Chain A
Amino acid sequence: MNPWWLGLDPAQTTIACGEHAHRLRWEQGALRAIDHADPEAERALAALGGQRCRCVEVLDAWSRHDGDPRVLVLASRGPADPLDVRADWTAQLGTLPSIPAPAAAPGLPPAPRRQLLRLPARQRSVASSVPGWPGPPAHVAPPPTGRIPLGSPAESEVIALLGLGGGVPDRLVATVAAAWARQFEDADAALDGARATLHASMHGRLSAVLRAWLGRTAVEVELELIDARHAATLSERAGVIRAELPFAWLAEVWSRGLATIMGRFCLAAGTEDGRTWRLTTLGPDLGPPSMVKVELPAA
């Protein structure tokens, strides 16, 4: 099986860590604090009463929320839905009590973190150049100017992660989507409490794509989540667009920026090596699907 992050370019941002500007880099499914040689040692020192550094706080927050479906609720639905990031929201991390247990959306069961740990992203593979789609350039988040009122430390952490620049929040969304796609594949019981959240957050993203693609701002969309082994379809009846897609579409297509390509809607995307992609697409007339093959240049 291919690593879920194939086709996702590295993403990088810079945050204020103490008196320094430090880089956080997402690559091959994992977020790393590349200006800290040994984050584990820093965690150990902090546990003994030393000062926690912001980079490690962000890494810890990431690991607590990389399966949190609330990330999908709060994060952007696409280019037409930017978050209003005007402050370094990581500044809120140190102001609330630490979280002893993995976070989950209120009323939902804990995120399936054990399953997430099995993802290749967690293998801490050696950072290297990965072929794929270009991501946004790294940038330094502006200094703190304001705060979002938050109800809990968990909220604070999610907001801090979504306020990171450089495309890193998009990678968090991709991580969460991939984790839950795996749960759908396995028909995991953890889905029961999160199904409505996942369904709605995919519906919103799909609707945003279809509105932009079809140029119809008020298009009504019905989404049925299907088994990933079944063929995805898109059809229209009485003015309503009906999509039958697996939840994996969010991770495999939308998160990679492949939802529309060459004026066509992408139902599914497959690759063997992360360089050559076979995309099942259809045109705005919603006619029969056609295959589009995309090859990226070798790194």
Chain B
Amino acid sequence: MPDFDPELYLRLMGEQLLIGREDRNRGSRRPTIAEAAAALVAVGVLDPERAESVLDDYSLAATLRNDPDFHRRTMMRVASRQPGESESRPLGPRRVVPCSRIVEQPQATVHVRYVSLSQEATSVAVTVLPDPSVPWASGPAGATLTDDRGTTVSAPFSGGGSRDGFHGRLTAQRPLAPDTAWIELDGDRLELTAQPSRFDATLERLPEQDPAHRYLWQRIAEPDEFHENGIEPVIDALVAAGTLSAEDPLLADVRAVLDAWGQRGSQSSGSTASVLRPMPEPWNSLLARQDRRDGPKGSIVLGAVTPSFDGFSVAVLDLESDAKGFKVDVEVAPGVGHRMPFDWSVRPRQLAWWAKDDRGNYYLGRRGNWTYTDGNGSGLIGFRPAIDPRATRLDLMPTGETTRAMITFPLPWVSP
């Protein structure tokens, strides 16, 4: 495709956006021009700076035409250029202590799941169940934490949820002693004696793959609830650039997977019935089990921290499994491992969250509640389908562009 001009291709999409007023009311979803831009960058036919420049141009042009979504995007871009942005550092080791404990407070029941201690930070993972009889205008209040040296600090709550329950962390405003024997939460003492589950954390290089194929599968797997429905502009751009044939049989697979898995995670209306033929792995096992409701109920505290890979480091703190799926509490450095609403960056700095068990089943995670602090992100990754009750081992695989981490640990609710 010697005559293909990727910048002109994007700019013509931008013109359609302006004169056709197309792609309006998209909310925080990425517009088609941004989907195409990211795809062209990912397969190496367009320089990321040039792509961002085109997006900047048309975002500002749309803002001048009172497109509120582009206005927000422009604001985010401008804000991200401001000096003083926090620099992210790779995550360091921490002491993570399981601590299954119920603390009754005047307006809520607090379930303490674990305590994380390092030289840099102290946090207590909690699930807060508000007292339904008490009017409560806002989210959970913070708490006061005290260590065995007598240091007392306040710890505001961060996380998300509803009146049915809030999931998050109480993070001390300055770190407590990492080797403290106990912590008091608003005067309730938590003995820190339990040990987390054992695990192995390694890195694995991804096999070489056609760039267009890799990007299409990556795009489907991204934990990106803010940026749905973007695969057709991606396909159009890759075909126009000559990096993908419109007749490539992979396209039928991609569309079938999307149809079956949906792009909306647990809200998907997709069903396995729409898949008429075997899909390539890992999708085949994922789709085959997506409606299962037989997951084991239980939790595992890990405290695993990966080495750096593709510019990221990941800490996996705990896992909670139920009949429909499982949630993993993670930290990611830098926090750009996940895009925020209206962030239409073209750089493929995203992590996909895969997992597999020792029975050959795959699982795919999507971001849930998410918090950014000091350049790092933390929150929940919700995986589907439910863990196979016969599985005895799980590999969590946060996956970058070229490399994935593997955090391997036994599943304690199954007797080996």
CB within 8 Å of B: which residues of A? 70, 73-74, 77, 80-84, 105-107, 148-151, 155, 159, 162, 195-197, 199-201, 203-204, 207-208, 211, 217-218
Cα–Cα, bound, A149→B63 (Å): 9
- Indicate if the CB atoms of A70 and B57 lie closer than 8 Å: yes
- Indicate if the CB atoms of B74 and A203 lie closer than 8 Å: no
- Indicate if the CB atoms of B64 and A159 lie closer than 8 Å: yes
A88 to chain B, nearest CB (A): 14
- Indicate if the CB atoms of A200 and B8 lie closer than 8 Å: yes
Interface residues of B in 5-56 (CB under 8 A from A): 5, 7-8, 11-12, 14-16, 18-20, 49-50, 53, 56
- Indicate if the CB atoms of B19 and A151 lie closer than 8 Å: no
- Indicate if the CB atoms of A200 and B11 lie closer than 8 Å: yes
Q: Does B277 reach chain A (CB closer than 8 Å)?
A: no
B57 to chain A, nearest CB (A): 5
Cα–Cα, bound, A74→B63 (Å): 10
Chain B residues lying within 8 Å of A208, measured Cβ to Cβ, are 19
For B75, the closest partner residue in chain A by CB is A149
> Interface residues of B, CB < 8 Å — how many?
30
B47 to chain A, nearest CB (A): 8
Interface residues of B in 280-296 (CB under 8 A from A): none
Cα–Cα, bound, A195→B3 (Å): 14
- Indicate if the CB atoms of A73 and B8 lie closer than 8 Å: no
B278 to chain A, nearest CB (A): 38
- Indicate if the CB atoms of A196 and B8 lie closer than 8 Å: yes
Give 7 closest A-B pairs by Cβ, nearest first: A200-B11, A204-B15, A84-B66, A196-B8, A196-B7, A107-B53, A106-B53
- Indicate if the CB atoms of A207 and B60 lie closer than 8 Å: no
A201 to chain B, nearest CB (A): 7
- Indicate if the CB atoms of A196 and B60 lie closer than 8 Å: no
Chain A residues lying within 8 Å of B58, measured Cβ to Cβ, are 73
Which one of B16, B18, B56, B63 lies within 8 Å of A148 (CB-CB)?
Answer: B63
- Indicate if the CB atoms of B57 and A74 lie closer than 8 Å: yes
- Indicate if the CB atoms of B19 and A77 lie closer than 8 Å: yes
For A83, the closest partner residue in chain B by CB is B64
Cα–Cα, bound, A82→B78 (Å): 24
Q: Does B65 reach chain A (CB closer than 8 Å)?
A: yes
- Indicate if the CB atoms of A196 and B5 lie closer than 8 Å: yes
A-B contacts, 22 listed (Cβ < 8 Å): A70-B57, A73-B58, A77-B15, A77-B19, A84-B65, A106-B56, A106-B57, A149-B74, A149-B78, A151-B56, A151-B74, A196-B5, A196-B8, A200-B8, A200-B12, A201-B11, A203-B12, A203-B15, A204-B15, A211-B19, A217-B20, A218-B20
For B72, the closest partner residue in chain A by CB is A149
- With contacts A106-B53, A151-B77 taken as known, whether A83 is within 8 angstroms of B11 at the C-beta atoms is no
Chain B residues lying within 8 Å of A80, measured Cβ to Cβ, are 19
Cα–Cα, bound, A181→B60 (Å): 25
Q: Does B201 reach chain A (CB closer than 8 Å)?
A: no
Interface residues of B in 165-194 (CB under 8 A from A): none
